[in-house]
């Protein structure tokens, strides 16, 4: 009787344990992408400041900002629409400024807000910093 | 007068340079066990038609994978993107060795030889490309293969069979005249 009972308990423990494990593996494997809209910015600064930090020391700026959610504000100097409604806004300088890429899903979700942005207007974007090429790049951006 | 000559020369130079910041790059390291592809449209590239020079760079964290987990593994375990500025990008700098008639708007198969840098390691590679000069634009596409091990990227035994030994990289770029 007691043996049977302990076996039953053991069975339930193993079953619950394996269900949790399978669930965890499934979750990690299909982990959702970071949604910048729900993420608090680790740094909040002017686009000009971000550019000057990267230009003065690219190495330490890369380590400091890479993959972090950053919120930047600056004047729009160019707007480029790529395929699948991906839109790239360049802040402060069309060539060597901060480029903020808004992906297809977000460009649809924030269409009303984005349509108001013109060259010359001041905009604020929150995005994930991927480093610097000619400009400092922020990806997965959302307007703020 | 000298300043004027300088200005003329610099405008001449600028006319020879084409660029884009929206080049499309994708790579494929799929095996029958796992479908692994990634894409970005944030490649920055220049062509100087007077010297037949090509320059290319891309930030590794801008690549998008099918799964967020793959992106994390790619950047944290394999590319080690946040280590320093050189690990955060992949670069190519080369010369088109096949003669190209830049005035002729005809698709030309060319070979580009140069240095490819990734994960802090530089290797000389040869890339097969197709270039189509135009009146105010140049389109180009290229494909090449690299072996991750040669760039000091070690793939753990547990996932070794899931990742291809050779990675196929494809590039598509539409260049415009560079004005600065």
Q: What is the pLDDT of residues B75-84, one digit of tens each?
A: 988 999 888 8
- Between the CA of residue A18 and those of A4, A14, A22, A25, what are the distances in Å? 21, 6, 6, 10
The pLDDT, as a whole number, for residue A115 is 93
The pLDDT, as a whole number, for residue B34 is 83
What is the arithmetic mean of pLDDT over A58-86? 94
Two structure tokens written together for B82: 């946040």
- The Cα–Cα gap between A57 and A71 comes to 20
What is the arithmetic mean of pLDDT over A60-71? 94
Which residues on chain B are in Cβ contact (under 8 Å) with A137? 42, 59, 62
Which domain, by its residues, includes B125? 2-177
Residue B179 has pLDDT above 70, yes or no: yes
Which residues on chain B are in Cβ contact (under 8 Å) with A95? 180
| pTM greater than the 0.80 cutoff | yes
Which residues on chain B are in Cβ contact (under 8 Å) with A141? none
CATH number, domain at B167?
Answer: 2.40.128.110
* Bridge partners, residue A127, by sequence: A70
Q: How many residues does chain A have?
A: 144
Say how many CB pairs under 8 Å bridge A and B. Answer: 70
Residue B39 has pLDDT above 80, yes or no: yes
CB atoms within 10 A of CB B126: 12
The pLDDT, as a whole number, for residue B155 is 84
Burial (CB < 10 A; 0-12, 13-18, 19+), residue B138, is buried
Residue B1 has pLDDT above 50, yes or no: no
Q: Pairing state of beta strands B138-146 and B121-133?
A: antiparallel
The pLDDT, as a whole number, for residue A10 is 92
The pLDDT, as a whole number, for residue A141 is 95
- The Cα–Cα gap between B83 and A119 comes to 35
- Checking ipTM against 0.90, whether it exceeds it is no
Query: What percent of chain B has a predicted confidence (pLDDT) above 70?
Result: 92
- The Cα–Cα gap between A119 and B154 comes to 46
The pLDDT, as a whole number, for residue A18 is 92
B142 Cβ neighbours under 8 A, 6+ residues apart? B112, B127, B128, B129, B130, B170, B171
**Chain B: which residues have CB within 8 Å of chain A?**
21-22, 41-42, 44, 57-62, 67-69, 72, 75, 81-85, 88-89, 180
CA nearest to B133, candidates B110, B167, B162: B110
Residue B158 has pLDDT above 90, yes or no: no
Asked if residue A117 lies in contact with residue A76, where contact means CB atoms within 8 angstroms, the answer is yes
The pLDDT, as a whole number, for residue A14 is 93
**Chain A: which residues have CB within 8 Å of chain B?**
28-34, 58-59, 62-63, 66-67, 80, 82-83, 86, 88, 95, 99, 101, 128, 130-135, 137, 139
Residue of B nearest to A61 (CA): B85
What digits encode the pLDDT tens for the residues B6-35? 555 555 556 789 999 999 999 998 888 888
Cβ contact A62–B58 (<8 Å): no
CB atoms within 10 A of CB B95: 13
Two structure tokens written together for A65: 């900002």
The pLDDT, as a whole number, for residue A143 is 96
The pLDDT, as a whole number, for residue A97 is 96
Least trusted range by pLDDT, from B8-12, B169-173, B175-179: B8-12
- The Cα–Cα gap between B45 and B20 comes to 6
Average pLDDT of the residues of chain B = 88
At residue A2 the predicted structure's pLDDT band, cuts being 50, 70 and 90, is confident
CA nearest to B132, candidates B104, B163, B96: B104
What digits encode the pLDDT tens for the residues A120-136? 999 999 999 999 999 99
Residue B4 has pLDDT above 80, yes or no: no
Structural domain total, chain B:
1
What is the arithmetic mean of pLDDT over B117-136? 94
């Amino acid at each position: 009787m007691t043996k049977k009972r302990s076996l039953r308990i053991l069975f339930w423990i193993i079953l619950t344990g394996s269900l949790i494990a399978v669930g965890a593996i499934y979750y990690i494997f299909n982990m959702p992408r970071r949604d910048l809209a729900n993420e608090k910015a680790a740094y909040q600064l002017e686009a000009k400041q971000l550019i000057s930090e990267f230009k003065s020391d690219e190495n330490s700026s890369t380590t400091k900002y890479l993959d972090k959610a950053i919120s930047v504000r600056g004047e729009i100097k160019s707007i480029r629409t790529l395929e699948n409604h991906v839109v790239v806004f360049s802040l402060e300088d069309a060539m060597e400024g901060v480029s903020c890429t808004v992906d297809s899903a977000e460009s649809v979700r924030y269409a009303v807000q984005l349509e108001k942005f013109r060259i010359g207007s001041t905009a604020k974007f929150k995005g994930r910093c991927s480093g610097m090429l000619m400009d400092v790049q922020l990806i997965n951006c959302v307007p703020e | 007068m000298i300043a004027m000559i300088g200005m003329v020369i610099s405008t001449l130079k600028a006319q020879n340079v084409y660029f884009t910041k929206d080049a499309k790059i994708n790579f494929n390291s799929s095996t029958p066990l796992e479908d692994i592809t990634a894409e970005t449209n944030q490649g920055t590239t220049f062509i100087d038609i007077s010297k037949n020079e090509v320059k290319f760079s891309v930030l590794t964290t801008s690549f998008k994978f099918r799964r967020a987990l793959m992106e994390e593994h790619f950047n944290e375990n394999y590319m080690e993107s946040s280590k320093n500025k050189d690990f955060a990008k992949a670069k190519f700098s080369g010369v088109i060795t096949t003669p190209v008639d830049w005035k002729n708007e005809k698709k030309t198969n060319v070979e580009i030889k140069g240095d490819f840098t990734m994960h802090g390691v530089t290797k000389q590679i040869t890339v097969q490309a197709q270039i189509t000069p135009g009146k105010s634009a140049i389109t180009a596409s290229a494909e090449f293969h690299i072996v991750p091990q040669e760039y000091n990227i070690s793939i753990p035994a547990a996932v070794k069979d899931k990742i291809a030994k050779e990675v196929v990289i494809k590039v598509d770029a539409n260049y415009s005249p560079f004005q600065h």
